[in-house]
Amino acid sequence: MLSESFATEAARSGKNIILADLDVGQRTSFEWGEARERNGFEPRVKVVVIDPDKHGDFGIRHASSGGELLIIDAPGFSDEKTLGLAGFSDVVVLPTGASVADLRPTIRLMHELTAKGIAKDRIVTALCRVKTPSEIKFAREYLGEAGFDCLKGMLRDMPSFRNLQNQGRAATEADTKSMRLEALELVGAIDAALQRSLQRQGEKPERYERSPERYKGR
């Protein structure tokens, strides 16, 4: 749901975005996009399915043709395709839960990416499927001890978020204000990480994500 929320808020500002779903078996993001289109939610989000085994990096890059921003929803494990995607991505976002069983593989993947030459400051972690303040605190401290920062904001493990996804809505469109603002804070933190990456690469950044403050009162 993280990539879907980021894509929604990027599209909301009028940018031409493409969300590429690389999980050809599950197609979670693609089916979310179909539900969003079917239910007429705005802004519209273009979602495509790409099989990395058939099309490789070229197919993924080609999918972004005509778009200003390509958001890739990739399977959460390390292989050569993951490393290839990280190599041409401006920022890599790794969602993680709060349990050690979630955190350890995430940390291993981050170490594998940096070992392959991916700059550490291009890799960020995002808390998803979390519940209590104590486990959130634990996850942030655990990542910090491993030498990695965790983005502000979070996506909680809530049935209402799953219902939103079923309808084709984003977490940033939640009916509950507190949940909506937490999701917006996380999306804004991803946007900030992307802008920093673009600045380091010498590109002129252009913000496309709306600040959470602009959503207060929604």
| pLDDT of 14 strictly over 60 | yes
Region 108-118 average pLDDT: 89
Give Cα separations from 178 to 13, 52, 64, 186 (angstroms): 22, 37, 33, 13
| pLDDT of 204 strictly over 80 | no
pLDDT at position 191 is 92
Q: How many CB atoms lie within 10 A of CB 170?
A: 29
- Give the tokens for residue 180: 């909506």
Looking up residue 92, the CATH number of its domain turns out to be 3.40.50.300
pLDDT at position 9 is 95
pLDDT at position 56 is 61
Which structural domain, as residue segments, surrounds residue 39? 2-215
Identify any residues that bridge with 49 across adjacent strands, giving them in sequence order. Answer: 21
pLDDT at position 152 is 93
Region 173-193 average pLDDT: 93
Total domains in the fold of the chain: 1
Q: Are 17 and 69 in contact (CB under 8 A)?
A: yes
Handedness of CA 72, 74, 78, 81 (dihedral sign): negative
Residue 85 banded pLDDT, cuts 50, 70, 90: confident
| pLDDT of 218 strictly over 70 | no
36-76 residue pLDDT tens: 999 999 999 999 888 776 766 656 666 656 667 889 888 76
pLDDT at position 212 is 43
Residue 211 banded pLDDT, cuts 50, 70, 90: very low
